[in-house]
Copies of this chain bind each other. A is one copy, B any other.
Amino acid sequence: MTTDFDAHELRVVVQRLARRIRAERSDETLSDSQLGVLFQLELHGERTLGELADNERVTPPSMTRTVGALVEAGFIAKETSPTDARKVRLTLTTAGLAVIAETRRQRDAWFSQRLDELESTERRSLEAAANIMQKLADS
């Protein structure tokens, strides 16, 4: 079919672009797993340790360690759940919110700049493709 194109080529370019974006993070104070936890908490407001471990696909012992570092750094708060004393309730602190905002700002900065350099038709192409890629990522 004439409209078909190479799945391989698209896959590779998506992975390459993701690596390029990732390399742009200049502030290296937090590991990927630590950032993942902060973004989870931003999304959900509060989470238990087990929920975070499931979401990030790591084991509970790993999450205990990751959470411990974030508590020590002052980015998240940890307290026993009021309804079930086995559980721990984790929430973002003000400092945690700030570090998320700053990380996002850094990551977006490079990308925004590149987008600004494109033709408007190219931006529209990307906008249309973004929705389709969202579907692919969710499947």
Contacts and interface: CB of A to CB of B under 8 A. Distances in A.
A114 B129 contact: no
Nearest to A124: B3
B11 A108 contact: yes
Interface of A: 3-5, 7-11, 13-22, 104, 107-108, 111-112, 114-115, 117-118, 120, 122-130, 132-137, 139
Contacts of A117: 139
A39 to B, nearest CB: 10
A49 B8 CA distance: 28
A7 to B, nearest CB: 4
A108 B8 contact: yes
A119 to B, nearest CB: 9
A130 B10 contact: yes
A74 to B, nearest CB: 26
A104 B7 CA distance: 11
Contact of A126 (B15, B16, B20, B132): B132
Nearest to A119: B132
Contact of A11 (B3, B8, B107): B107
Contacts of A135: 118
